[in-house]
Chains A and B, each alone.
Chain A
Amino acid sequence: MSQEDILAGLAAIVNEVAGIPAENVQMDKSFVDDLDVDSLSMVEVVMACEDKFGVTIPDTEVKNLNTVADAVNFIAANK
């Protein structure tokens, strides 16, 4: 799965969970500061990513996922 595919999948999840337009979910965006994804929504995003991409994202890792790129790279490296 390419980085583009992961980004597109993640963007769809963020849209579904938080209502953010998928096109706004870009690699350099911060979940909290740019996309207004709060901590509860982030839990939902993580759960949906685990289901969609078949990865496990431990709580200890979630706090390191500040930007969309952090999440895409983590998924690419661990799936």
Chain B
Amino acid sequence: MSRTVVVTGLGATTPLGGDVASTWESLLAGRSGITILDDPRFAELPVRIAAPVKVDPSEILEPHEIRRMDRSQQLALIAAREAWADAGVDSVDPTRLGVAVATGVGGAISLMEQYDILKERGASRVSPMTVPMLMPNGPAAVVGLELGAQAGVHTPVSACASGAEAIGYGAEMIRTGRADVVVCGGTEGCIHPLTIAAFAAMRALSTRHDNAAGASRPFDKDRDGFVMAEGAAIVVLESEEFAKARGAKIYATYGGQGLAADAHHIAQPEPEGRGVILAMNRALADADLSTKDIFHINAHATSTPAGDVAESKAIRKVLGADADHAPVTAVKGAAGHLLGGAGSLAAIASILALRDRQVPPVANTVNLDEGVEVDVVLGSPRALPSGDAAALSNSFGFGGHDVVLAFRSN
């Protein structure tokens, strides 16, 4: 049994805006959400650049919701509520409603806060919500509880590919008949001195303190690392049959996914793009697409020296001459790197690019690295041709995870 899956709802809270519309507008405008961290807690760190969400959860959620949920859960819930309202599913059998919401890091901030309390005030003051707040399946559980989803609540974890893998997982729940509707995507909320220090220790982060807004510049010859961001991006997927029966608006059709692993290094990308190529080819096959159908690619491109050019070469190897009609963008220039939320934000951007026939530019990138072998959109949005078109959305994660999602225009 394999059923067609469609996208009917979108939700996001990101460094670019508190919802999908403002996030998409900022992406198209190439506006950066990256800033200097001026809180004294970050003062002594080698990196003081990050991309906090534009609208803090405390402006949206009730105080008792804030205190019971880790920040990653708060952001996931906000994005899920928007996506759910956008989809407008007014009636679904709860046993046919699923959730797949991922995070890369999980409740690290809650864990550290409670450890501080343990040290300073003793075990009797450790919050009874500590475990629900730190567990990586917490965001999925929070969304599942909100919606009363009984078909299954899942959390695929693959570092910075997690958000994409969750969408692929959710789509499989529908394809295989386990669910009719699945709310899926990724979230992250772990900007903290320790996480910044830890990524900085890997020499993974940009140190462009004299131009924080322009610190993330995927594919630029002067890129010097990624920028940690936070936020969540959630989509509602439905079986085409279920969506059409209720007259839902359909953003795009989910084509398929390609999964692979580099089998190379815990944090370095495999230089020949072995896993990336395998995942892209598998996504094309799973979606029953050929390279000539691909008119857009949303690259993982994080703005690190090692990753971006290798990815561009992999894209060229997979698409060949058809890469010439597949303009490439990367959302991390504007949004920074949402880690567990990155893959689903890229998916939303891919979906909206197909709907609006516009590919946002890579923010901040001025001088393309000479090794880049694809058509990277710079400066202003690029129009896509009308007619049937498909897009690929690439997401990779520490550990060597490669996840590629395919979407078709509707």
On A, residues with C-beta under 8 Å from B are 15-19, 40-41, 43-44, 47, 50
A residues in contact with B65, CB < 8 Å: 19
Q: Is the CB of A44 within 8 A of B127?
A: yes
Decide yes or no whether B125 CB sits under 8 A from chain A. yes
CA distance A41 to B291 in the complex (A): 54
Q: How far is the CA of A75 from the CA of B325 in the complex (A)?
A: 73
Smallest beta-carbon distance A55→chain B, Å = 13
Q: By the criterion CB–CB under 8 Å, are A40 and B63 in contact? A: no
Shortest Cβ gap from B124 to chain A (Å): 7
Question: Which residues from chain B sit less than 8 Å from chain A, CB to CB?
Answer: 62-65, 67-68, 124-125, 127-129, 132
Interfacial chain B residues near A16, Cβ < 8 Å: 63-64, 67
B interface secondary structure, majority: helix
Collect the chain B residues with CB atoms within 8 Å of residue A41's CB: 68
Alpha-carbon separation in the docked complex, A43 to B124 (Å): 10
Q: Once the chains bind, are A19 and B124 in contact (CB under 8 Å)?
A: no
Contact between B128 and A43 (Cβ–Cβ < 8 Å)? yes
> Which A residue sits closest to B129, measured CB to CB?
A40
A56–chain B nearest beta-carbon distance, Å: 9
Could you tell me the distance in whole angstroms from the C-beta of A13 to the nearest C-beta in chain B? Answer: 11
Q: How far is the CB of A23 from chain B (nearest CB, A)?
A: 16
Q: Which residue in B62, B125, B128 is a CB contact (below 8 Å) of A19?
A: B62
Asked whether A40 lies within 8 Å of B64 as measured between CB atoms, the reply is no
Q: Which of A15, A18, A40 contacts B128 (CB 8 A)?
A: A40
Determine the residue in chain A with the shortest Cβ distance to B131: A40
* Cβ B125 vs Cβ A47 within 8 A: yes
Q: Which of chain A's residues have a CB closer than 8 A to the CB of B132?
A: 40
CA distance A49 to B331 in the complex (A): 47
Q: Check A18 against B124 for contact (C-beta < 8 Å).
A: no
Judging by beta carbons under 8 Å apart, are B128 and A17 in contact? no
Bound complex: CA of A41 vs CA of B67, how far in Å?
Answer: 11
Q: Could you show 19 A-B contacts with beta carbons less than 8 Å apart?
A: A15-B64, A16-B63, A16-B64, A16-B67, A17-B64, A18-B64, A19-B62, A19-B65, A40-B129, A40-B132, A41-B68, A43-B128, A44-B67, A44-B127, A44-B129, A47-B124, A47-B125, A47-B127, A50-B124
